[in-house]
Amino acid sequence: MAYLNRTIRLAFDGTDDSMPKLGDDIWVVIRNPMLMPGSALSTGIEIDPNNVDMARALQHSQIMAARLIESWNVYNPDDPNDPPTPYPLPATPEMVATLPVVIVNKIAELAGQALNPQ
């Protein structure tokens, strides 16, 4: 028997009332951070909770998000094509850096819940 819910689908297409609508058929599937070892979520970037360097925190979130993403239907918002060309896999921190911040924040939120369960 395997763990349940090994992946989480985050839909940003208006089908989930708890997520903002960013467009039709915009979604990201991530590995469930609750089922991953803490070392898989570590990026080696030290964050001082008493003096947060926002650039380092953002870089940490982008690296961690790229590691968690298994599949997605997202694109670079600066893509001039209509319709825009979806990003390929694997996800990279550079691609994640161009995503709407609500997507990266949601992935970071779920990873944070795994690292600091309440």
Q: How far is residue 18's CA from residue 32's CA, in Å, rounded to a whole number?
A: 18
**Per-residue pLDDT at 1:** 54
pTM (two decimals): 0.86
Backbone angles phi, psi at 42, to 5 degrees: -80, 140
Strand residue runs (E) in the chain: 7-11, 27-31, 69-73
In a domain, 15, yes or no: yes
Amino acid at 7: T
In a domain, 61, yes or no: yes
Q: Please, which pLDDT band fits residue 117 given cuts at 50, 70 and 90?
A: low
Chain-wide mean pLDDT for the chain? Answer: 88
Query: What are the beta bridge partners of residue 71?
Result: 29
In a domain, 31, yes or no: yes
Render pLDDT for 20-75 as a digit per residue (tens, 0 to 9): 888 888 999 999 998 988 888 788 888 777 887 888 888 888 999 999 999 999 99
**Per-residue pLDDT at 49:** 76
In a domain, 2, yes or no: no
For residue 27, what are the domain limits?
A: 7-115
In a domain, 62, yes or no: yes
Q: Is the pLDDT confidence value at 118 over 80?
A: no
Non-local (6+) Cβ contacts of 90 within 8 A are: 66, 69
**Token pair for residue 53?**
């360097």
CB atoms within 10 A of CB 112: 15
**Per-residue pLDDT at 29:** 97
Cβ-in-10-Å burial (0-12, 13-18, 19+) of 59 comes to middle
**Per-residue pLDDT at 113:** 83
Counted domains in the chain: 1
In a domain, 110, yes or no: yes
Is pLDDT larger for residue 4 or for residue 61?
61
